[in-house]
Structure 1
Amino acid sequence: MLTSFFGKSKPINFVIFGAVIFLGYVFGALVLVEKALTFSQLAIDFFFILWSVYAIMLLDFIVRKNNLTYKNTYTVLLFTCFLVTLPVIFLDRNILFANVFLLMAFRRLVSLSSEKNIEKKILDASLWITVAALFYFWSILFFILLFFAIIQKPDTNHRYFIIPFIGFVAILMLATSFHLLIDDSFAWLTQWIKPISFDFSTYNTMSIIIPAAIMATFLIWSLPFRLLKIASLSKKEKPNAILLLVTLVVCGFIALFSPIKTGAELFFVLAPLSVIVANYIENIQEARFKEGLLWLVVIVPIALLFI
């Protein structure tokens, strides 16, 4: 039932995803907030619900536009369910902002396989990465992915390696000017760089360790299939398939370098993880096994509400 329903991209699917985000935010995140809700707070919460919905729509656009999977909504289903299993993500607004800006950068990176507007795409990606880093410093590691995407191009030009620095400096100058006007100080630069923490004590809670374990299981199960499939891909498809794997690794380090481990940092790996798992699921020949995996993804966030 789920395989046939989400096996096609239909508007009703995104209405359902939006409703799931809303319910996950209300019953998962708001119960963690101890402060009384005011009208202004509700308005902010509504904005971040819309922001989260925008994230899933942006991810779907990237996947469809670049043929990262077949024409289905498995990726968005996985992304939505994984997100709702970790409602603590909704409470970390900086991570929510950073992830969407990184998705915008990733959109430009995967489109580098086309030969159109290469310089513009590289500049756009560098701008979005730097904006993301303003909210979450270690998003700056995404520049590794940008340079990797440039190196992958067969006709790489030395100008391409200069453009990212221009984008970075441009945003940095704007941010510095803003803080000079508001705070009359350069102090934000010393506060911007965050230390790395390896304190994973927060992961001892059931509400975080169970979703993390399930995501890790899906990754371990589907990653070998993805690696083996790369060899059979066409010359045109192979660069983005490799780029996706590198994205997963980079996003893993972005999450690992989080200065405070709350579980929200796992949001960084959800997008590449969802694409890889969706690619595995859509290639499963056994219908009952495929259906069972999708039901597992759907049931887990519901079950975690009662833990």
Structure 2
Amino acid sequence: MLVFYIAANLKKGFVIEYASVLLLIAGFVIYVLYMPVLNLITQKNDLTLKSTNTILLFAFLTAILPNSLTDIGILVANLFLILGIRSVLTLGSGKHIKATILDASLCIGIASLAYFWSIAFISILFLGILYFEPKNYRNWVIPIIGLMIVYILTNCFTLVFYDSFFEINNYMNAVSFSFENYLTKDSIFSSGVLIICVVFFFSMYITKFKRKPAKTKPVVNLILMQLLVGLIIVIIAPEKNTSEMIFIAGPLAIIGTTYLELDYNELVKEINIWVFLLIPFIALLF
């Protein structure tokens, strides 16, 4: 992980300055924090077997997206989204429902400050409410309250430090359906590998989906929804440089773990793992 993170930053060009070093360290800490949270999500919800395969796949998927590892905004947004999704999935426990909904909405709201289209993941929170606690009308209002809290606190921050209100126009991003950037030398390999992974892992996951216990299927549906929302963000992102693809890395790592857990020859497993380890190094050549 450290090797890929440093390599991505060196490839982009790194100037040794105090602020740059702090951002580099902060970015790596955020990147590392993804791993235990993802592992917690998979283990608590019985989505995978007890292994580090999800972490391995996530490291692989993010390593082939060097632009995401050099964008502190994307890293922050994705961290809060993962935390928010974790809260959504815990709704299934039936404990502290309102606090959990508020926590998830706050995380998604904060993520949207770092990357606007992260706000689309609020749909997963509403879907979680629909699955686990739809009858209490207050639950449907809490996400809006959470987003309003983030907006109010952001206004307080900008008033204190910039002596101005938070401008919603500067916050919102446009929509773009231009995919020319994905066809450039720097992006075509990463986007191509990720598309192949999405198609392959998703098809394998759907095959195994029927075997999942009924109690875990709502959680599985939420993970699939997370992948879908991530793909939509990739499609509409205004500046497509593959960094936005990190939003599908988390759910795709969980889905892809299903493939690694299939019963097949040990040699095949070893080959798969080596492929996952070597492809990121190939990505650095582009």
Range into which the TM-score falls when normalised by the shorter chain = over 0.9
- The answer for the alignment partner of 1:277 in structure 2 is 256
Deviation at 1:155, TM superposition (A): 5.6
- The answer for the alignment partner of 2:200 in structure 1 is 221
1:172 is the counterpart of 2:151: yes
Cα displacement string for residues 98-124 of structure 1 (whole angstroms, at most 9, x for unaligned residues):
000000001101111111111111110
- The answer for the alignment partner of 1:241 in structure 2 is 220
**Letter of the structure 1 residue corresponding to residue 153 of structure 2:** L
Identify unmatched segments of 5+ residues in structure 2.
Answer: none
Q: Secondary structure in 1 aligned to 2:117? A: helix
TM-score under structure 1 length normalisation? 0.88
Q: Secondary structure in 1 aligned to 2:94? A: coil
Task: Give the conservation status (yes or no) of the 8 Å contact 2:84–2:104.
Answer: yes
Q: Secondary structure in 1 aligned to 2:215? A: coil
- 1:92-131 equivalent positions in 2, closer than 5 A: 92-131=71-110
Distance 2:168 2:190 in 1: 35
Task: Give the conservation status (yes or no) of the 8 Å contact 1:230–1:242.
Answer: no
Task: Give the conservation status (yes or no) of the 8 Å contact 1:104–1:125.
Answer: yes
Distance 2:65 2:243 in 1: 7
Cα displacement string for residues 204-237 of structure 1 (whole angstroms, at most 9, x for unaligned residues):
2344221222222122122123223333322211
**Letter of the structure 2 residue corresponding to residue 28 of structure 1:** A
Cα displacement string for residues 245-298 of structure 1 (whole angstroms, at most 9, x for unaligned residues):
111001111232222111101111000011101112212423333322221111
- The answer for the alignment partner of 1:25 in structure 2 is 5
- The answer for the alignment partner of 2:67 in structure 1 is 88
Q: Secondary structure in 2 aligned to 1:156? A: coil
Distance 1:46 1:185 in 2: 30
- The answer for the alignment partner of 1:152 in structure 2 is 131
1:55 is the counterpart of 2:59: no
Cα displacement string for residues 55-97 of structure 1 (whole angstroms, at most 9, x for unaligned residues):
1222122222222211011111011111112211122111111
1:232 is the counterpart of 2:211: yes
- The answer for the alignment partner of 1:137 in structure 2 is 116
TM-score under structure 2 length normalisation? 0.94
Task: Give the conservation status (yes or no) of the 8 Å contact 2:34–2:79.
Answer: yes
Give the RMSD, CA atoms, in angstroms: 1.7
**Letter of the structure 2 residue corresponding to residue 213 of structure 1:** G
Distance 2:224 2:242 in 1: 22
Deviation at 1:186, TM superposition (A): 3.0
Q: Secondary structure in 2 aligned to 1:237? A: helix
- The answer for the alignment partner of 1:6 in structure 2 is none
CA 1:199 to 1:287, structure 2 compared with 1: closer, same or farther past 3 Å?
A: same
- The answer for the alignment partner of 1:4 in structure 2 is none
37-46 or 62-71: bigger deviation:
37-46
Identify unmatched segments of 5+ residues in structure 1.
Answer: 1-20
CA 1:74 to 1:39, structure 2 compared with 1: closer, same or farther past 3 Å?
A: same
CA 1:125 to 1:200, structure 2 compared with 1: closer, same or farther past 3 Å?
A: same
CA 1:37 to 1:154, structure 2 compared with 1: closer, same or farther past 3 Å?
A: closer
What is the aligned residue count? 286
Task: Give the conservation status (yes or no) of the 8 Å contact 1:130–1:168.
Answer: yes
Deviation at 1:162, TM superposition (A): 0.9
Task: Give the conservation status (yes or no) of the 8 Å contact 2:133–2:139.
Answer: no
1:286 is the counterpart of 2:265: yes
